[in-house]
Amino acid sequence: MDDIAADPSHPRYASLLMRHRLEVAEERGMLAGSAMIAHGRGEAFDYLLGERTTESARSASLQALAYLRHAKRPVLSVNGNVAALASDAMLRLAAFLSCPLEVNIFYRTPERMKAILSFIDERKAALDLDVKVLGHAPDATIPGLKGPRAACHKEGILASDVILVPLEDGDRCEALVKMGKTVVVIDLNPLSRSAKLASVTIVDELSRALETMLEASETMSELTIDTSYDHQAVLSAGLQEMLNGLNED
């Protein structure tokens, strides 16, 4: 699906590839109007980070994976941007964890839900993975949220103990934390409400963070939760890396 004309040796190849994926998703009706704005905000922070995975981001990814691995009912939440940018990686991670993926979008319309679910189904078939995909028939609500934003599956998000919500909005992140869940966020902005409120925040670009987790799932036989993990310190380290980048050369 990534047969773009861009040259892989182009210094901005990864960034161009992600933009291309969003364009394709936009054409398929998967994205809300604000999707490009959210992506642009992420890109700006990634530029400051030097578009690389920092040590603190890596430690957050490993802690996230450990929580998910030791969860009783892990679930991976997917919104429009996540489906567009990283459906394959999310499906692979769900297969490794033997847990469901739940499509859960901020601006829910039947058309967008259908477009996202059919895209994920296509990718699932192409990868030949056995993953349960939820989102088609929500039968529960997230307490504290109003309207369609609250809709979720009882056997998915509602019952989960550990949830990965990449690129999540602050309000929804807060509602999930209030439910007592361990909430893992992937967000390049260490100052966002989601980044601050989550249990573990990976300050890294979505596809890189997922790559770190998938690689570790293959290479690390033991994944232990670090009991001395310091969420605040990891967030501050992410911000500091951005400031350091500004002072280099």
Binding site for Mg ion (CB under 5 A): 169-170
Residues in contact with ligand ATP, shown as a per-residue x/- string from 179 to 218 under the rule CB under 6 A:
-------xxxx--xxx----------xx------------
The residue sitting closest to ligand ATP, measured at its beta carbon, is 42
At 178, give phi and psi (nearest 5°): -65, -25
CB of 19 to ligand ATP, least distance (A): 10
What are the distances in angstroms from CA 102 to CA 49, 74, 120, 127, 152? 30, 11, 11, 18, 8
Query: Binder to ligand ATP among 99, 167, 175, 198 (CB under 6 A)?
Result: 167
* Among 228, 204, 246, CA closest to 54: 204
Residues within window 76-95 making contact with ligand ATP, judged by CB under 6 A: 85
- Do residues 198 and 173 touch, judged by C-beta distance below 8 A? yes
Q: How many residues does the chain have?
A: 249
Helix (H) or strand (E) holding 77: strand 74-78
Taking CB under 6 A as the rule, does residue 238 contact ligand ATP? no
Q: List contacts with ligand ATP (CB under 6 A).
A: 38-39, 41-42, 45, 85, 167, 169-170, 186-189, 192-194, 205-206
